Structure 1
């Protein structure tokens, strides 16, 4: 559909690149901020693209195509195949990962020491069978000493806080514990016996089929991932191999957690 704008005579609607870009964004269930982040640009650039004030470049188009956008349709108005409308759960998964990674780095000074504030999100990672992911809203920020964050190798802008729910990770992580994740660490290391000491598995917050979980993760082989719980009596390990690994979306590695006995 093309609607002629009078008196300017400019075509708007589905006949423009910007309108089709907006249509694709809405089909994928993403906000302008989230979609801009996927394309490596700021929100104002996304607004300019959708209003046809600017044309998206090849780098942007390449990035959004990896997230499921039909770039051919955006540019030409033609589809090779009818698009598959993602379920709400898939859209929520994308929104969750994107919004968590948008945590900002803010600094405050307390008694002469520098503290970085880390965003806590109103989302919970299930330490059990999994909880359906909802849209993430920034709830508050919690201050940590910058020197301590430097010591554990986490940049404040890459950190996010969320809560664990359930008992599957007890006695390591308890129901209600506050988790800090590094959102740049999204690939489990390939396990090598004797490479590191202590707890042999890494702990990740991950999305699986629309559920957000906190689990121990081991990668014994390049194409094999094992996710498991500390509560071995109630929860069996889950093994994913080959193409099955693509079902796992690692949101971030757990680098710290806090427990209160209340």
Structure 2
């Protein structure tokens, strides 16, 4: 049975969700975002960075869901997909970093919460040159990086990339605390800079010997549209 092309992403999302027998809340929990985000996507028809994960969860074609191309069920295996053990969809675990002031290494504590793990198609890793085993997901803890990152957003950290890059965002061990900051090269040294325009509340901080890079932020997931 062929499914007619729907030009609006929100309508396709709703059709796929109904096909999967999921409520907005159930889909949101499986994807790791808020129910309000699903409702907003269905209402506005805006695209989403969660398309691949939603397509796998609802067992529909990612190409159809994102662009309306082809059949909704094109190439879909009728058997249930084990996301955590499927080599075509390497998973990224959410963690809390265990840090010590002045120490370059770190430990991790895995987070057993709904929406864990994050799932991406293998071609996403290959296209970007990422090693799935080197990627970890963490929650953003405050508003210092607004409007790009909000408190409660999830970011994926590539722990293989620890060399600072001017203008790029990194997770950093700053005196025993994990912070997410933009690296800025100025006055011959590296600075940890916040994107929040309230610089009196979030002033930039100079890097020193006790500051260690955890990894570069390479992806974000947010409930903000």
TM-score (norm 2): 0.52
Does structure 2 conserve the Cα–Cα contact (< 8 Å) formed by 1:117 and 1:144? yes
Residue 108 (structure 1) aligned to one of 62, 81, 86: 86
- 1:77-156 maps to which residues of 2 (within 5 A)? 107-108=85-86, 114-123=88-97, 136-139=108-111, 140-156=116-132
Q: Within the alignment, does 1:249 sit opposite 2:212 as a pair?
A: yes
| Partner SS state of residue 148, structure 1 | helix
- Aligned CA distance change for structure 1 residues 182 and 151 (closer, same or farther; 3 Å): same
How far apart, CA to CA, are the structure 1 residues paired with 2:210 and 2:96?
Answer: 24
Higher relative contact order (Cα pairs below 8 Å, separated by 6+ residues): 2
- Alpha-carbon distance in structure 1 between the residues aligned to 2:85 and 2:172: 28
Distance 1:141 1:124 in 2: 19
Give 1:210 shift.
1.0
Is the contact between residue 124 and residue 162 of structure 1 (CA under 8 Å) also seen in structure 2? Answer: no
Shift of 1:255: 0.3
Q: 1:40-66: per-residue Cα shift (whole Å, max 9, x none)? A: xxxxxxxxxxxxxxxxxxxxxxxxxxx
Change (3 A) 1:254 1:229: same
Structure 1 runs, 4 residues or longer, greater than 4 Å off: none
Structure 1 215/228 Cα, relative in aligned 2: closer, same or farther at 3 Å? same
CA deviation string 1:18-75 (max 9, x = no partner): xxxxxxxxxxxxxxxxxxxxxxxxxxxxxxxxxxxxxxxxxxxxxxxxxxxxxxxxxx
Deviates more, 1:167-176 or 1:150-159: 150-159
Other structure's SS at 1:213 match: strand
CA RMSD between the two structures:
2.6
For residues 157-214 of structure 1, give each alpha carbon's deviation from its aligned partner in whole angstroms, at most 9, with x where no partner exists: 110001001111000001111110100111113x4xxxxxxxxx11000011111100
Q: Any unmatched runs of 5+ in structure 1?
A: 1-105, 126-133, 192-200
How many correspondences in the alignment? 130
SS at match of 1:115: coil
Gaps of 5+ in 2: 1-83, 100-105
From 153, 156, 160, the counterpart of 1:177: 153
Farther-moved stretch of structure 1 (225-234 vs 115-124): 115-124
Against the structure 1 CA distance between its residues 124 and 261, is the aligned structure 2 distance closer, same or farther, given a 3 Å change threshold?
Answer: farther
1:123 and 1:250 map into 2 onto residues whose CA distance is: 12
